[in-house]
Amino acid sequence: MTIKNTIAGLPYGGAKGGIKIDPRSLSKAELERVTRNYTTAMCKKSSLGASVDVPGPDIGTGVREMTWIKDQYQTFYGHRDLNYAGVTTGKDVIHHGIRGREESTGLGVYYCTRYILNNA
């Protein structure tokens, strides 16, 4: 992510974080509780936010989990953080996500491959 963000001129580095669980072994309610508790713990340490760390979907997570994180972040900070919508990437459009998010990785691979093949 660091390289992609730099190329795009975004002021973000790169990091990975996670919870050591098998999401398939949890009910939806259990997974939501774990995700929200993780988010609260990150907020208490000031380790989450649009200008601090912006999680995105990866292995075992998706739109649903990113929306829970955004939701819990907003619950924790209330209206004190006007940038709450930017706390995660990968949300659906009705939760302040962007159109084309799901297709973007595949399109990026396509354009890079096409460029390499045409310029090799």
Which listed residue (4, 16, 44, 45) is catalytic?
16
Domains of the chain by start residue, with CATH: 23-119 (3.40.50.10860)
Q: Is 44 a catalytic residue?
A: no
Whole-structure pTM value:
0.78
Contact present, 19 and 61 (Cβ < 8 Å):
no
Q: Name the pLDDT band for 68 (thresholds 50, 70, 90).
A: very high
Of 23-27, 74-78, 103-107, least confident by mean pLDDT is 103-107
Q: Name the pLDDT band for 69 (thresholds 50, 70, 90).
A: very high
Concatenated DSSP letters for 52-96?
A: TB-----TT--HHHHHHHHHHHHHHHGGG-TTGGGG-SS--GGGT
* Predicted pLDDT at 108: 86
Tens of pLDDT, residue by residue over 99-117, are: 887 778 788 889 999 999 9
